[in-house]
């Protein structure tokens, strides 16, 4: 254990690991590294899903530095600032591991808010392995001690308690190649391949056993068919696993078993390319009648499929449900805000996972893959994410189209307001307050609320009688399909029963 005196002078916590924390007083210690088989718990209170995702992505814990600190009275503002947010920061130096290893710091604060930090740019001077250092500037926010904190967490937790988790990974994957601009595409080809799957009550929460072949697709589209399209980082079972078996059974009856989901890459491939592959697989020589339920970016795929950018040969989209779709884009995919996106998703998936560990792990694996790519290549090679940029080419084309689109559009949206024990965590950390700074308007932590239903082009704006909007109910982007109101609305909308009270939304 070493003492931090607020001066910001370099303090060696362990040979090779140095902390500079201007304005903070307290102690810094090294926690014993957790083994490669650790699953859940630990000083960071990680979920099993997060530990499994880190292991699957090849990230190994090198060290965890524990800071128990408080603000120095009357301290001058720190001149050390983070690159991603411009907030006051603290510095962590770690041993340089040479050209074959990458490093990233996952910081976890006293409220469980997680932030990813990449190394600062080097000065370009070559260093011999083990003789140089890697520098990180980490967000240093420390909440003011409160009576509530002292009574609910104990006096030791009333001060800032931070973990700086140093994670190490190989810069060349033995299967996927170098972590570079092409890495996300290689990862998706292996772990997020294209494929249709059935989506029935006894299987919709589990990964598919096999993709459907042409004969099965022909059989399952011989009549009006329901299609599920997932969003960024996700899979069909992760995005829609929150729907109950009873809901899927009711839809199964409506569509006589003709229910499909289309798993597809979302990081490196544009929605237009997704639709090209979808149409290739569905080329069965007759017009298909589709109703489409989407989540997040999947709604953009749905708009392209419905003909907003030109004819989708052989496909007629009757109903299209936009679940938290960034129809006007999301600022989180701008280069300046992408790290916010990764921080928010990691935090919420770890704290309030919207489904079983296996499904959350699948989403976190994709997030960690992007963390690695961003550290080496920025947004390059992430065309699927860039497609959601506000004012970008795809968003502009979709919202200036004059023809094409579904017969009927519906919307599920949320204005996320944290409640209960999550309130202080999400409003004082990077998840809530930072989201409002990025968007400047109500949002579900990932997309602006009104952008789901107030876009332009065919099918917009979505009529108020065909919307469900969650206001201040603690419903965030990833939890939309776990809500009973969502299930009731889907059943009403997809049966066309306008006399059902659920049809009119809330």
181-238: per-residue pLDDT in tens? 999 999 999 999 999 999 988 889 999 888 898 889 988 888 999 999 999 999 999 9
**Does one domain contain both 199 and 127?**
no
**Does one domain contain both 81 and 156?**
yes
Does a structural domain hold residue 301?
Answer: yes
Residue 243: the pLDDT is 95
**Does one domain contain both 212 and 359?**
yes
**Does one domain contain both 195 and 163?**
no
**Does one domain contain both 118 and 250?**
no
Interval 311-324 mean pLDDT: 90
Interval 247-260 mean pLDDT: 94
**Does one domain contain both 313 and 381?**
yes
Given 147, 170, 193, the domain boundary residue is 170
**Does one domain contain both 257 and 400?**
yes
Residue 506: the pLDDT is 54
Does a structural domain hold residue 373?
Answer: yes
Residue 438: the pLDDT is 65
- Tell me if 109 sits within 8 A of 43, measured CB to CB: no
- Alpha-carbon Rg of the chain, whole angstroms? 24
Q: How far apart are CA 461 and CA 450, in angstroms?
A: 10
**Does one domain contain both 316 and 438?**
yes
* pLDDT over 90 (residue 497): no
Q: What is the CATH number of the domain that holds 276?
A: 3.40.50
**Does one domain contain both 272 and 378?**
yes
Tens-digit pLDDT profile for residues 387-439: 999 999 999 999 998 888 899 999 999 998 766 555 455 555 545 544 555 67
- The string of DSSP codes covering 102-160 is EEEEEEE-TT--EEEEPPPPP-S----TTTSEEEEEEE---PPP-HHHHHHH-GGGSSE
Tokens for 355, please give them: 């489904």
Tokens for 434, please give them: 């930072």
- Tell me if 185 sits within 8 A of 174, measured CB to CB: no
**Does one domain contain both 100 and 166?**
yes
Does a structural domain hold residue 140?
Answer: yes
Residue 129: the pLDDT is 41
Q: At what angle do helices 484-495 and 245-255 cross, to 10 degrees?
A: 0
Tell me the CB-side half-sphere exposure of residue 414, using CA atoms within 13 A: 24
Residue 271: the pLDDT is 97
Given 104, 139, 170, the domain boundary residue is 170
**Structure confidence at residue 310 as a pLDDT band (50, 70, 90):** confident
Residue 44: the pLDDT is 61
Instruction: Give whichever of 84-93, 132-141, 242-251 has the largest mean pLDDT.
Output: 242-251
Choose between 199 and 32: higher pLDDT. Answer: 199
Residue 420: the pLDDT is 53
Does a structural domain hold residue 198?
Answer: yes
Does a structural domain hold residue 26?
Answer: yes
Does a structural domain hold residue 464?
Answer: yes
**Structure confidence at residue 353 as a pLDDT band (50, 70, 90):** confident
Does a structural domain hold residue 175?
Answer: no
Given 149, 170, 191, the domain boundary residue is 170
Interval 267-276 mean pLDDT: 96
Query: Quick one: what percent of the chain has pLDDT higher than 90?
Result: 53
Does a structural domain hold residue 177?
Answer: no
Interval 285-296 mean pLDDT: 91
**Does one domain contain both 260 and 367?**
yes
Number of domains in the chain: 2
**Does one domain contain both 164 and 243?**
no
- Tell me if 299 sits within 8 A of 266, measured CB to CB: no
Q: How far apart are CA 429 and CA 107, in angstroms?
A: 12
Domain that holds residue 296: 183-504
* pLDDT over 50 (residue 440): yes
Give the contacts of 201 (CB within 8 A, at least 6 positions apart): 245, 246, 248, 249, 252
Going by the DSSP 8-state scheme, the letter that residue 448 receives in this structure is B
């Amino acid at each position: 254990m070493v003492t931090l005196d607020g001066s910001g002078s370099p303090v060696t916590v362990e040979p090779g690991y140095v902390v500079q924390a201007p304005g903070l007083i307290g102690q810094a210690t090294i926690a014993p590294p957790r083994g490669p088989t650790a699953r859940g718990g630990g000083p960071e209170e990680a979920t099993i899903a997060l530990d499994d995702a880190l292991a699957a992505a090849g990230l190994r814990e090198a060290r965890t530095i524990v800071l128990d600190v408080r603000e120095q009275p009357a301290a001058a503002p720190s001149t050390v600032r983070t690159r991603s947010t411009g907030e006051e920061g603290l510095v962590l130096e770690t041993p340089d591991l040479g050209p074959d290893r990458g490093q990233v710091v996952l910081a976890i604060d006293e409220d469980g808010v997680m932030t990813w930090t990449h190394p600062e740019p080097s000065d370009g001077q070559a260093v011999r392995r083990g003789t140089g250092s890697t520098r990180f500037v980490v967000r240093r926010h420390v909440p003011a001690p409160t009576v509530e904190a002292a009574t609910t967490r104990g006096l030791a937790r009333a001060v800032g308690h931070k973990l700086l988790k140093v994670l190490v990974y190989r810069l060349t994957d033995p299967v996927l190649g170098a972590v570079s601009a092409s890495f996300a595409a290689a990862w998706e080809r292996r772990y997020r391949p294209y494929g249709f799957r059935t989506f029935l009550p006894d299987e919709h929460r589990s990964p598919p056993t096999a993709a459907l072949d042409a004969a099965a697709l022909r059989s399952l589209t011989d009549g009006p068919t329901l299609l599920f399209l997932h969003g960024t980082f996700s899979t069909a079972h992760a995005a829609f696993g929150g729907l109950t078996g009873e809901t899927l059974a009711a839809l199964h009856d409506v569509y006589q078993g003709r229910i499909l989901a289309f798993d597809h890459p979302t990081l490196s491939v544009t929605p237009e390319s997704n639709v090209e592959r979808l149409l290739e697989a569905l080329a069965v020589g007759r017009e298909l009648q589709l109703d489409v339920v989407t989540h997040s970016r999947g709604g953009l795929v749905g708009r392209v499929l419905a003909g907003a950018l030109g004819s989708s040969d052989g496909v007629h989209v009757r109903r299209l449900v936009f679940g938290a779709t960034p129809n006007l884009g999301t600022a989180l995919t701008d280069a300046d805000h992408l790290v916010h996106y990764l921080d928010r998703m990691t935090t919420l998936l770890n704290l309030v996972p919207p489904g079983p560990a296996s499904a959350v792990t699948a989403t976190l694996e994709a997030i960690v893959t992007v963390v690695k790519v961003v550290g080496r290549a920025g947004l390059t090679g992430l065309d699927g994410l860039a497609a959601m940029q506000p004012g970008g080419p795809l968003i502009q084309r979709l919202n200036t189209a004059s023809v094409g689109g579904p017969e009927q559009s519906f919307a599920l949206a949320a204005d996320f307001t944290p409640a209960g024990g999550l309130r202080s965590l999400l409003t004082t950390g990077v998840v809530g307050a930072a989201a409002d700074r990025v968007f400047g308007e109500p949002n579900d932590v990932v997309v602006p609320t009104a952008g789901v239903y107030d876009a332009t082009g065919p099918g917009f704006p979505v009529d108020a009688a065909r919307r469900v909007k969650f206001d201040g109910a603690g419903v965030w982007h990833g939890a939309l399909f776990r809500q009973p109101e969502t299930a009731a609305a889907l059943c009403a909308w997809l049966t066309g029963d306008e006399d059902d009270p659920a049809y009119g939304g809330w």
